[in-house]
Amino acid sequence: MITSRHNPRFKRIRDAIREHADEIVLEGPKAVADAVASGWKPIEIVERDVDVSSELFDLLADTKSPQHTIGLFERPRAHATAILARRATVIVALDAVQDPGNVGTIVRLAAAFDAAGVLLLPGCADAFGPKAIRASVGAILNVPVAAVTARELLDCGLTLYAADAGGACVDPPSRDAVFVFGNEGAGVSDELARAAQPIAIPMSARVESLNVASSAAILLSRSFSLR
């Protein structure tokens, strides 16, 4: 049993939680079991009071109510070019969306409405950080997520649609398109906004705008219904 903070295994899991770079952590027996069932190969699985002392496990656990199981996995590596090549549905691109809860929720929405994948532009929260993973409620296991540059999007040959309150209230496409959702405060960057077709969501004048995840839910749902 691991009982020391200086234990290399403890340090490795702790660093993966903090950095989520080459290795990531999933917390909870269901999340770990679902990952294994999806083909993810664990580097290590540890149980509270079995492999790690309760005191140390609670230091690792990111949730207020630890679920007694932590799995260490190699970070999945998807590529933007592969996602952009999937033309039978739509693709989601997030432009500097900084809240990990929003990023994870949008990954879940991409799964719910069968998007080809999620592309993260610079400035986005990491979809494989602990908070984003929890917000995805398991969808991170089967939705390709990759980093992308603005230039790659501009050169991909697909029509870009930017969620914008000032855009036209038209039916969103069901395929061959990229939906770009911008930063919670600033919206889509000028570089992408100039190249994209603005698309709006019909709504009451009682509010000026919607949360980025709410906007994604509505546009992806409308797109999915047209397939």
Q: How does residue 168 score in pLDDT terms, banded at 50, 70 and 90?
A: confident
pLDDT at residue 127 greater than cutoff 70:
yes
Question: Edge-to-edge strand order for the sheet containing 145-147?
Answer: 145-147, 118-120, 90-95, 177-182, 159-168, 197-199
Calpha distance 107→136 (Å, rounded): 6
Tokens at 122, concatenated:
């610079």
Task: Give me the domains of the chain, ranges plus CATH numbers.
Answer: 8-74 (3.30.1330.30), 80-225 (3.40.1280.10)
- Note the pTM of the prediction, 2 decimals: 0.93
Q: How does residue 210 score in pLDDT terms, banded at 50, 70 and 90?
A: confident
SS3 63: coil
